[in-house]
Amino acid sequence: MSNNARIFFVGGVIAYRALFNWLNPWIFVPTLVVAPIFQVLFFAFLGRSAGLESDRFYVIGNALQIAALPGLFAMTFAISGERWSQTLSPLLASPANRAAVFLGRALPVVANAAFVCVVAFVAGALILRVHIAPGAIPALAVVIAVTSISCTGFGFICGPLGLRWRDAIIAVNLLDAVLLIFCGVNIPIDSLPGWMQAVSEYLPVTHGLRAARRVADGAALGDVSGLILAELAIGLTYAGVGFAWLRHLELVARRGATLENS
Amino acid sequence: MNALRLIWAGFRMNLKMLGTSSFFMLTAVVQPVIFATVAYYMFRSGGRAGTLLYASLGAGMMGVWSTTLFASGGMIQWQRWQGTLELGVASPPTMGLLYLPFSLANAFTGMYALAATLVWGRLVFGVPLRLAHPFQFALALPATVIALGLMGLVLASTFVLYRNANALANLLEYPVWIASGLVFSTSLLPAWTRPISWILPPYWGILALRRAALGGDVWGPLTMVLVAGAAYGVVSFFTFRVFEHRARARATLSLT
């Protein structure tokens, strides 16, 4: 295995394990299994109270938006965690290929995001008795995978914040909330003001969610391929911008000797 | 007198510490406003715009609970990280009394949430702020906040023994919002969940606040808030004593 491939795969897995205190189930299960299920239930009951949409709308919406939870937080902690454990300087002083280092960290996060989506989706559908046709499941799996990639890509924007700002977690919470409000997760997009509708077109989750709802309504994968590609393109664009920003901030921090400043 | 001095000093100290934390300002102010915004749009799009004050109060209470939960959850853990937990345990007052003012300050910080959602609702969504029983509202609010603080104290006591108990904070946010019926009626929930709602101070608290704001009998739920709060207070002193004893016996107090 080449050095870059080793850093990408082995480094990514080690960083992911460290993120959850070496995959401690006491942290993983409540945060990424139980809490997302309750998020689905909370908004489904709120939706019933508001008399707005069916349970299916909220199960699909929240299950997909939950992909942002590991995507945003894990990619931020990929930097912030190094700072807290005082390993950021050695990491950035190493000659390792930066793309291998940081993209490697994204791979387990994508898998994690997809897993959280599926758990929330299945549990929400079972508890609220939402029926999804078995024939729609393979296409939904594709949509979930793509949305998980795009949310992790969006998380790349947050990673560099951890390089400049001690409380990057604040920004991450806000971005997560932006997705909750803007992307049609719980509020139909056409009910939002025009400027919010326009912003939603450039955010992850929006197109994935549209695709997932259409697939659940019986559309074939080919019918929603444009939406899936748009979702993927948005995620990859954010990832590219985030990575470039990270490299820029690293250079600035080296030049100004401000790496450990927080 | 010593106990009162301890409570006042601890309350002020923790309030100052929380006031400088961006994370708690986010939890106490920004997050409730976000949830309130989602609820406003949902109620308005669903043709139930008349319930916006209902949503405001509920979203505010969600913020009070989140702040209490995360701050009380983190309280023991931060003391542990800062190396001050042992000093607190070794000091003459009981642990329950020592951490009571911290927990009350946590819940008090949560009151920012209610203020934030009411102001946000008024300014952005034009939610009317006419309270049906303003005097009873003024009584119900501190009673609810104190009861939540005492509930937070029970949670905090588990952190003395279990270092991963902070995961409990992530676990309990949504379930308590749901079981307490903060933004929707608990009649939407399955009947078996009712007893769970009844033992939660936020359930009685939001009922008292809602009736004080929108009309209805306030005294019944207000009495229940006080009873539930007192019960959690008693339980917390017991759990602190038991968990402290076990942590000392196992020598696990400062393990992180």
A46 with B39: Cβ contact below 8 A: yes
For residue range A41-59, what is the model confidence (pLDDT) as tens digits? 999 999 999 888 899 999 9
Give the residue, A239 or A7, on which the prediction is more confident.
Answer: A239
What percent of chain A is predicted at pLDDT more than 70? 96
pLDDT for res B127: 86
pLDDT band at B255 (very low <50, low <70, confident <90, very high): low
A169 with B174: Cβ contact below 8 A: no
| Average pLDDT estimate for A174-181 | 88
pLDDT for res B211: 95
pLDDT for res B50: 62
For residue range B236-253, what is the model confidence (pLDDT) as tens digits? 989 988 888 888 888 877
Helix/strand/coil for A165: coil
Please name which of B172, B139, B153 lies closest in space to residue B107, comparing C-alpha atoms. Answer: B153
Phi first, then psi: what are they for B91, rounded to 5°? -75, 155
- Asked if the C-beta of B203 comes within 8 angstroms of chain A's C-beta atoms, the answer is no
Give the residue, A74 or B12, on which the prediction is more confident.
Answer: B12
Please name which of A213, A246, A247 lies closest in space to residue A227, comparing C-alpha atoms. Answer: A213
Asked if the interface predicted TM-score (ipTM) of this complex is over 0.90, the answer is no
A174 with B30: Cβ contact below 8 A: yes
pLDDT for res A240: 92
E strand residue ranges, A94-210 = none
pLDDT band at A214 (very low <50, low <70, confident <90, very high): very high
pLDDT band at A204 (very low <50, low <70, confident <90, very high): very high
* Cα–chain center distance at B71: 9
| Average pLDDT estimate for A256-260 | 72
Q: How many CB atoms lie within 10 A of CB A53?
A: 19
Residue B74 contacts by C-beta under 8 Å, 6 or more apart in sequence?
A: B166, B169
A42 with B188: Cβ contact below 8 A: no
pLDDT for res A98: 80
Q: Which residue of A has its CA nearest to B168?
A: A30
Task: Report chain B residues whose CB lies below 8 A from the CB of A70.
Answer: none
pLDDT for res A186: 93
Give the residue, A99 or B213, on which the prediction is more confident.
Answer: B213
First-to-last C-alpha distance (Å) of chain B: 35
Q: Which residue of A has its CA nearest to B163?
A: A26
For residue range A28-39, what is the model confidence (pLDDT) as tens digits? 888 888 999 999
Instruction: Tell me: pLDDT of B49 over 70.
Output: no
pLDDT band at B35 (very low <50, low <70, confident <90, very high): confident
| Average pLDDT estimate for A88-106 | 81
Looking at every residue in chain A, the average pLDDT score rounds to 87
B22 with A167: Cβ contact below 8 A: yes
- Interface size A-B, in CB pairs within 8 Å, comes to 88
d(CA A30, nearest CA chain B) in Å: 5
d(CA A74, nearest CA chain B) in Å: 16
What percent of chain A is predicted at pLDDT more than 90? 50
| Site from A23, A42, A66 to mutate, B interface, most B CB atoms within 10 angstroms | A42
Looking at every residue in chain B, the average pLDDT score rounds to 87
CB contact residues (below 8 A), chain B span 207-246, against chain A: none
d(CA A178, nearest CA chain B) in Å: 8
For residue range B153-172, what is the model confidence (pLDDT) as tens digits? 888 888 777 766 667 777 88
For residue range B64-73, what is the model confidence (pLDDT) as tens digits? 898 888 888 7
Can you read off the two tokens belonging to residue B179? Answer: 């079981």
Report DSSP letters for B117-185, one per residue.
HHHHHHHHH------S-HHHHHHHHHHHHHHHHHHHHHHHHHHHH-TTTHHHHHHHHHHHHHHTTSSS-
For residue range B199-217, what is the model confidence (pLDDT) as tens digits? 999 999 999 999 999 989 9
DSSP structural state of residue A3: H
pLDDT for res A228: 96
Q: How many helices (H) and strands (E) does chain B have?
A: 11, 0
pLDDT for res A101: 81
- The mean-pLDDT minimum among A143-147, A167-171, B148-152, B189-193 falls in A167-171
| Average pLDDT estimate for B34-45 | 87
Task: Report chain B residues whose CB lies below 8 A from the CB of A42.
Answer: 174, 177-178
B174 with A48: Cβ contact below 8 A: no
- Asked if the C-beta of B37 comes within 8 angstroms of chain A's C-beta atoms, the answer is yes
d(CA B30, nearest CA chain A) in Å: 8
The one-letter code for the residue type at A60 is: I
- The mean-pLDDT minimum among A172-176, B139-143, B227-231 falls in A172-176
A45 closest CB neighbour out of B46, B164, B178: B178
A173 closest CB neighbour out of B26, B43, B48: B26
pLDDT for res A261: 59
B46 closest CB neighbour out of A30, A50, A180: A50
- Asked if the C-beta of B34 comes within 8 angstroms of chain A's C-beta atoms, the answer is yes
Ordered by start, the domain boundaries in chain B are 2-250
A31 with B170: Cβ contact below 8 A: yes
Entry pTM? 0.89
Interfacial residues of A (vs B; Cβ cutoff 8 Å): 24, 26-27, 29-31, 34-35, 38-39, 41-42, 45-52, 167, 169-170, 173-174, 177, 180-181, 186-188, 191-192
A30 closest CB neighbour out of B30, B48, B171: B171
Task: Report chain B residues whose CB lies below 8 A from the CB of A34.
Answer: 171
Can you read off the two tokens belonging to residue A225? Answer: 């391929």
DSSP structural state of residue A32: I
Q: Residues A238, A153: contact at Cβ < 8 Å?
A: yes
Task: Report chain A residues whose CB lies below 8 A from the CB of B180.
Answer: none
* Cα–chain center distance at A87: 25
- Asked if the C-beta of B179 comes within 8 angstroms of chain A's C-beta atoms, the answer is no
d(CA B100, nearest CA chain A) in Å: 26
Note every long-range contact of A217-224, with CB atoms under 8 Å and residues 24 or more positions apart, other chains counting: A218/A133, A218/A136, A219/A139, A220/A139, A221/A138, A221/A139, A221/A142, A224/A139, A224/A143
Q: Which residue of B has its CA nearest to A21?
A: B164
pLDDT for res B196: 96
What percent of chain B is predicted at pLDDT more than 70? 96
pLDDT for res A231: 96
Q: Which residue of B has its CA nearest to A27?
A: B167
Note every long-range contact of A226-233, with CB atoms under 8 Å and residues 24 or more positions apart, other chains counting: A228/A142, A228/A143, A228/A146, A231/A143, A231/A146, A231/A147, A231/A150, A231/A204, A231/A205, A231/A206, A231/A207, A232/A146, A232/A149, A232/A150
Task: Report chain B residues whose CB lies below 8 A from the CB of A188.
Answer: 45
Give the residue, B137 or A22, on which the prediction is more confident.
Answer: B137
pLDDT for res B1: 64
Can you read off the two tokens belonging to residue A226? Answer: 């444009």
